[in-house]
Structure 1
Amino acid sequence: MQKNESVIWKIEITHSGQQTENQVKKQGSNIRDIWDNIKRANLRIIGIPEGVEKDKGMENIFEEIIDGNFPSLKDTGFKIQEAQRAPNKLNPNRPTPRHIIIKMAKVSDKERILKAAREKQNVTYKGTPIRRSADFSTETLQARREWQEIFKVLKGKNMQPRILYPARISFKIEGEIKIFPKKQKLKEYSNTKPRLKEILKGLL
């Protein structure tokens, strides 16, 4: 999937030589939205050891995760269209296991699982902590990762941070929910809030 995304990016860049920078950015955003829409029903599961699926199969592993962490969802009739490791090829030098991508039959099923995971917070597989998230395009994933350090700090201060689509951060301050699409906007806002500026010192 990442290879196909890269090919499309190259095609767009090749045909945009005489276009303005804003037009190129807009096209890039449109391509990202297309890929995110394709992946809309996908769940990304992070931290499952390599090879465990050989004996059980990925669908059975997924069912074990649901049974062990979200028993209230056990009999809700989830349907899986596809399950695979990403990337497809194993890199022996990779220090962490490849992610597992689960394509659900319904977007609503994915949303219910993510909601339950947020509420439980500590999700495990056979005692090993795992993480779960929606599956996005490479560009969206990278943009969301750039908020991670700020997210951790805000969460530590109980400011209820969330990463919103495509890569915006929201959090609660002075009784209000604030949303920022870029770090520069957050920096400008923090300059008006001394406490927030101190909390985010060195991160913006």
Structure 2
Amino acid sequence: MSEIKESRDFPLFTSSRPSRAAKKKQAEAEEASSDQSDAMLTEICSLGASLGNIDGRLSAIDSRLDNISTSVVAIQESLSNLTGRVASNESRLTEAEARISAAEDGMLTQERRITSRDKELSLLRAKIDDLENRGRWKNLRIVGLPEKAEGSDPIVQYLTRMLPKWLDLTPETRFEIERAHRSLGPVPGANHVPRSVLVRFLRYVDKELILQAAQKKRYISHEGIQLRFFQDVSAEVLKKRREFDEVRKKLSACDMFRGFAYPAKLRCLHGTQMHFFFLSSRSHGVFENIGR
């Protein structure tokens, strides 16, 4: 037993060379290390390639950033120019608004002045028209007398002789004609409407006497031709009276028209009551009611 123990503690055959198993293990370790080194080298190569790609992409990004920076600078310059132009336009707009406001104020003042002048002008026209009509108070207009009816006699003498005959005046009736003449204008032909005769009496009462006699007789004729007698009025009053032409014809057909009161008031006799109308539109409605 002691011998066996010695042999275990002190082997009889010892060798310094490694065993096969150790060699194999070492070879496997070296192979694994080589594989690992190759893998690391491959990975390092791959990382290098990736870094190269990254460097290229970064360069491209830098180039694009440079372009963007250039564009931003250009945009900033454009914005600066636009800001200056907007500021200039704002200044001009403010100035234009101030001018427009001043012009509007001036126009408002002018409109007020024009309105005031229009009122004054209307008032002056009314006064002038009134003065013109007052100057015509002694005038009478005869419509329908044929041209050359007076023959070779002066028209004043002819009218002085014919008016009492036309109007059935008494021999005691006295009136004086200051002057008389045909209305201005060319002499019409034989088949045209003769010019009216304008007669101016010496006194207003003489004119009223003849006019009232003509209104009383209603129908006056000379050699079968109807004569009509009117108060001489201005063109403005005549224009206002002509607005009643349509209703005047209707009233005349019904024997209801009684002439005009100065300046342009239509007189209408209905039954025993006299009606006066200032507006032609109103007279139409009243005539329709009267006609019923």
Distance 1:161 1:119, change over 3 A: closer
Task: Show the 5 A alignment for 1:141-152.
Answer: 141-152=238-249
Which residue identity does 1:39 align to in structure 2? R
Deviation sequence 1:115-163 (CA, Å, 0-9, x none)? 1111111112233211111111111122212213212212333445431
Inter-partner Cα distance in structure 2 for 1:74 and 1:32? 37
Larger helix fraction of residues: 2
Asked if 1:129 corresponds to 2:223, the answer is no
Q: Cα distance, 1:28 vs. partner?
A: 1.9
Once structures 1 and 2 are overlaid, which stretch shifts more, 72-81 or 136-145? 72-81
The aligned residue for residue 214 of structure 2 is 117
Q: Cα distance, 1:54 vs. partner?
A: 4.6
Q: Cα distance, 1:70 vs. partner?
A: 2.7
Normalised TM-score (structure 1): 0.73
Inter-partner Cα distance in structure 1 for 2:171 and 2:239? 33
Task: Show structure 1 runs of 5+ residues with no match.
Answer: 1-15
Q: Give the secondary structure class of the aligned counterpart of 2:169.
A: helix
Inter-partner Cα distance in structure 1 for 2:279 and 2:247? 12
Distance 1:65 1:173, change over 3 A: same
Q: Give the secondary structure class of the aligned counterpart of 1:97.
A: coil
Distance 1:98 1:17, change over 3 A: farther
Inter-partner Cα distance in structure 2 for 1:130 and 1:175? 26
The aligned residue for residue 200 of structure 2 is 103
Which residue identity does 1:71 align to in structure 2? D
Deviation sequence 1:165-187 (CA, Å, 0-9, x none)? 10111324586433221224445
Larger strand fraction of residues: 1
Inter-partner Cα distance in structure 1 for 2:223 and 2:273? 39
Task: Show the 5 A alignment for 1:1-204.
Answer: 19-87=116-184, 89-92=185-188, 95-173=192-270, 176-186=273-283, 190=286, 195-196=289-290, 199=291
Which entry has the higher C-alpha Rg, 1 or 2? 2
Which residue identity does 1:164 align to in structure 2? A
Deviation sequence 1:3-51 (CA, Å, 0-9, x none)? xxxxxxxxxxxxx966454433322221111111111101111111222
Q: Give the secondary structure class of the aligned counterpart of 1:56.
A: coil
Deviation sequence 1:66-90 (CA, Å, 0-9, x none)? 2322333443221111111111x42
Question: Retained in 1: the 8 A contact 2:183–2:196?
Answer: yes
Normalised TM-score (structure 2): 0.53
Aligned identity (percent) is 24
Inter-partner Cα distance in structure 2 for 1:194 and 1:62? 40
The aligned residue for residue 63 of structure 2 is none
Q: Give the secondary structure class of the aligned counterpart of 2:239.
A: helix
Distance 1:102 1:33, change over 3 A: same
The aligned residue for residue 62 of structure 2 is none
Distance 1:28 1:100, change over 3 A: same
Q: Give the secondary structure class of the aligned counterpart of 2:174.
A: coil
Inter-partner Cα distance in structure 2 for 1:166 and 1:132? 16
Question: Retained in 1: the 8 A contact 2:177–2:201?
Answer: yes
Inter-partner Cα distance in structure 1 for 2:177 and 2:128? 26
Count of aligned pairs between the two proteins? 179
RMSD of the TM alignment (CA)? 2.9
